[in-house]
Amino acid sequence: PSSYKVVVVGGGSAGLSVASTLAETLGSKSVAVVEPSDVHYYQPLWTFVGSGLKTFDESKMAMSEVMPEKAQWIKDSVASFNPTKNTVVLANGESISYDYLVVAAGIQVNWGKIKNLPETLGKNGVTSNYSAQSVQKTDEFIKAFKGGNALFTMPSTPIKCAGAPQKIMYLAEEQWRKAGIRDQTKINYFTGLGKIFAIDKYANELLKICKARNLNINYFTDLTEIRPDSKEAVFKVLAGDAKGSTLTLPYDFLHVTPPMGAPDFIKASPLSNADGWVDVNKETLRHNKFDNVYALGDCSSLPTSKTAAAITAQSAVLKSNLLGDILGDKKEVAKYDGYTSCPLVTGSDKLILAEFSGYTGQPQETFPFDQSKERFSTYFLTKEIIPDIYWKSMLKGNWDGPAKYRKLFGAA
Ligand code: FAD
Ligand code: UQ1
C-alpha cells in the first residue's frame, strides 16, 4: 500500500512547479507525482514551432529529466478519486493514499467533437498547433501553401492560451506575404466568441492589425465538420440572424483549434463543479468541499484565462497555503488575484504582451511601457528568455511570475 504526504496528479507545467518545492521542503518519499507521459512539453513554444521559428525538440524534455529529484514518479494515470477516503485509484487498479492532494491534470482536447478531424489531422493542409503530433505539420503546410483559401478556427469552449488560434494566423500571413503569394490568398478567422480577445485594450490593437493585413474575422461560428474529399469546412452559426444555420467554405489550408473541456475522469469525480472543473476557491485554490485538496492550472475552476503564465502566480499561492496546512505555521492566507498573460505574437519580430487579471479584466502589465503595442523587446523576451525561465526556474519551483518586477517598475 503506497501512501504519501502529498500526491500531485499531473506532471505538466502546474504539477511540477508545485511538486518541486514540496519535495524539496518535505523531503524524499513525501511527495508523489502521478504522470503517465514519458515526455514533458513546453507547449507555449508550439506557436513558434508551427511557424518554423523554433524546433520541436526545443519544446520537449524527457519526463525523467524534469521530474523533481526528491519526488516519487508514479508512471501511470489516475482513473478516479475517492476524496472521502483520501485515495486515488490508478489505471492499473492500484490505490494510492495521501494526506493532501494537488490536482494539476490539464485540459482535455476533444479532437473527436469535430467530425472527421482525427482522421484528417496532419494531412492535405489540415493541421493544429494543439498537438505534439501535428504541430510540425503546421510549418510544413504553411511553407508548401501556394495560395487559395486559408482558414483559422477558435472554438466557443474554454481553451488553453486563448491567443494561440490567432497568433499562428499572423505568422502564416507574414510568410505568405514574403513568399509573394498574398494576392492569391484569402485569410479567414472563425471564432465561436463575439470578440477577438477578452480584454479591450489588446482586442483594439489586434483588430487594427487584422484590418491592416486584410484578415477577415467571423464571429460566433464554430467548426463542426471537415470534408476532406471536397476540402470543405463546415461551421455552425451561433448567434445573429443566421443563428442555427451552417456555413460551408472551401479550404486549401486549415488550422484547427479543437473544442476543449474538463478531463472526463475529473468530470466523473466528486471533485468537479457543474462544468467538470476541479471546484476550488478562486483566491486560496483550496477545494470548496474537501479541505485537504487543492488544484491549479488548466483543470481547475479558477475563472481566469488558462495559461502557463497564470500558473506562475497560482503555484506560489497554492504552495504557501498548502505548506501552511502541513507545517502548521499560522501565516497570512495567500490569495490569487487572477493574473494571467498571453504573449500575442503578431509577426516574426513583434509581439503584444497582454497581461491582465481574469478576475477584474484590468491590465496588469510588468513593464513601464504600453504592452498593447507591437514590440521587438517583448518578442525577444517571449521567444528567448521566458523558455529559459520555464526550464531552469519555474519547473524547479523558483519562479512566482513577474509580480515583483511589476512592483519594481513602479506599477500598482
Ligand atoms: P499541462 O501542462 O497540459 O499538463 C497536464 C499533465 O497532466 C500532462 O503531463 C498530462 O500527461 C497529465 N495528465 C493528464 N491526465 C492525467 C491523469 N489522468 N493522471 C495523471 N496525469 C494526467 N501558455 C502561456 O503562458 N503562454 C503561451 O504563450 C502559451 N501558448 C500556448 C500555445 C499552444 C499551442 C498551447 C497548446 C498552449 C499554450 N499555452 C501558453 C498554455 C499552456 O501550455 C498551458 O496553460 C499549461 O501547460 C497548463 O499547465 P497544466 O499543468 O495545467 O497542464
Ligand atoms: C511567464 O512567467 C510564463 O511562464 C514562465 C509564461 O509562460 C510561457 C509567459 O508566457 C509569460 C508572459 C510569463 C510572464 C513573464 C514575464 C517576464 C512578463
State whether the beta carbon of 260 lies less than 6 angstroms from ligand 2. no
CATH of the domain at 85: 3.50.50.60
Domain-ending residue, one of 259, 283, 300: 259
248 and 153 share one domain: yes
28 and 157 share one domain: no
User: What was the ipTM of the complex prediction?
Assistant: 0.99
130 and 100 share one domain: no
Ligand nearest to the CA of 386: 2
Quote the crossing angle between the two packed helices 13-26 and 308-327, to the nearest 10°.
30
Q: Whose CA is nearest to atom 21 of ligand 1?
A: 10
Contact 127, 31 (CB under 8 A): no
Q: Whose CA is nearest to atom 38 of ligand 1?
A: 44
**What are the φ/ψ torsions at residue 245 (nearest 5 degrees)?**
-85, 170
Q: Domain limits at 390?
A: 2-107+262-408
280 and 240 share one domain: no
**What are the φ/ψ torsions at residue 150 (nearest 5 degrees)?**
-115, 125
State whether the beta carbon of 340 lies less than 6 angstroms from ligand 2. no
97 and 126 share one domain: no
Q: Can you give the pLDDT at residue 330? A: 72
Inform me whether the pLDDT recorded for 285 exceeds 80.
yes
Q: Which of 30, 41, 39, 9 is nearest to 391 (CA)?
A: 41
What the block records as the C-alpha cell of 302 is: 479558477
Q: Return the active site residues.
A: 161, 342
State whether the beta carbon of 98 lies less than 6 angstroms from ligand 2. no
Ligand 2 pocket, mutate which of 41, 341, 342 (most atoms under 8 A from CB):
341
What the block records as the C-alpha cell of 53 is: 521559428
Number of DSSP helices (H) and strands (E) in the chain, helices first: 12, 21
Amino acid at 401: G
Sign of CA dihedral 376, 382, 388, 394: positive
State whether the beta carbon of 343 lies less than 6 angstroms from ligand 2. yes
| pLDDT, mean of residues 157-165 | 98
41 and 182 share one domain: no
**From the CA of 138, how far away is ligand 1's center (Å)?**
19
Q: Can you give the pLDDT at residue 412? A: 55
| pLDDT, mean of residues 143-162 | 98
185 and 302 share one domain: no
Q: Can you give the pLDDT at residue 144? A: 98
H or E segment to which residue 164 belongs: helix 164-178
Angstrom distance (rounded) from CA 186 to CA 383: 28
83 and 114 share one domain: no
87 and 128 share one domain: no
Q: Can you give the pLDDT at residue 410? A: 77
Please report how many Cα atoms fall inside a 13 Å half-sphere around the Cα of residue 242, on the Cβ side: 10
Residue-wise pLDDT tens digits, 329-379: 777 999 999 999 999 999 999 999 999 999 999 999 999 999 999 999 999
Domain-ending residue, one of 220, 241, 259: 259
State whether the beta carbon of 321 lies less than 6 angstroms from ligand 2. no
Residue-wise pLDDT tens digits, 96-129: 999 999 999 999 999 999 999 999 999 999 999 9
271 and 398 share one domain: yes
Domain-ending residue, one of 215, 236, 259: 259
293 and 375 share one domain: yes
Q: How close are the terminal C-alpha atoms of the chain, in Å?
A: 50
- Give the chain's domain count: 2
Q: How far is CA 125 from CA 54, 128, 142, 247, 255, in A?
A: 21, 10, 8, 20, 8
Average pLDDT, the chain: 97
**From the CA of 43, how far away is ligand 1's center (Å)?**
7
What the block records as the C-alpha cell of 397 is: 519551483
Neighbours of 109 (CB within 10 A): 17
404 and 268 share one domain: yes
Question: Which pairs from 35-39 meet CB under 8 Å and 24+ separation?
Answer: 35/10, 35/11, 35/63, 35/67, 35/73, 35/74, 35/75, 36/75, 36/76, 36/77, 36/91, 37/11, 37/63, 38/62, 38/63, 38/64, 39/63, 39/132
